[in-house]
Amino acid sequence: MAIVRWNDPFREFAQLQERLNRAFSDAYGRNDEGLLSSGSWMPPVDIYQNGDHELVLKAELPDMTREDIDVTVDNGTLTIKGEKKLSSEVKEDQYHRIERRYGSFSRSFSLPPTVDPARVGAEYKNGVLTVKLPMREEAKPRQIKVDVSA
């Protein structure tokens, strides 16, 4: 008769949970040793086409000022950079929990050749950066009149 070792399923579950917590904390930069964690983060964006006239990119950048945000278009690439700073009104030892991300960020997007880089505009309102990327005139669809010959 063979001896079968019985494993405690609750202990295995606890070990699995510990491994998952460690994996997620490594991936998202969470640190149990201190509340403050700085570093890079990526603001979420939506990109959509507004009819046939332009592309629109919206990025969530809460609690930032226009001075904290840098938008550039260079060589067919749109880059949004900035830094989200922790409030100086609250001291580090006063925090109980910090879940929002702080620090610098940079996101780059390849632009299609149909975008006119000279006409790109950006607006920051209510924590949302809106970048409008107009299409080149030659890229816009146009109606062509068909002549009927007799």
Reported as type and span, the H/E element at residue 15 is helix 9-28
Write out the CATH class of domain 39-139.
mainly beta
pTM here? 0.66
CA distance to 33, 92, 133, 143, per residue, from 122 (Å): 39, 34, 9, 30
Predicted confidence at residue 20, as pLDDT, reads 79
Q: Answer whether 32's CB lies under 8 Å from 25's CB.
A: yes
- Spans of the chain, pLDDT less than 70: 1-9, 25-40, 139-141
**Dihedrals phi, psi of 75, to nearest 5 degrees:** 55, 45
Q: Give residue-wise pLDDT tens across range 90-134.
A: 888 888 888 888 889 999 999 999 899 999 999 999 999 999 999
Contacts of 80 (CB under 8 A, 6+ apart): 43, 59, 69, 70, 71, 105, 106, 107, 108, 129, 131
Interior angle at CA 144, CA 142 and CA 150, nearest 5: 175
Provide the Cα torsion 67, 71, 74, 77; round to 10°: 150
Tokens (6 digits) for 34 = 């201190």
The ranges assigned to domains in the chain are: 9-36, 39-139
CA distance to 5, 7, 20, per residue, from 10 (Å): 15, 9, 15
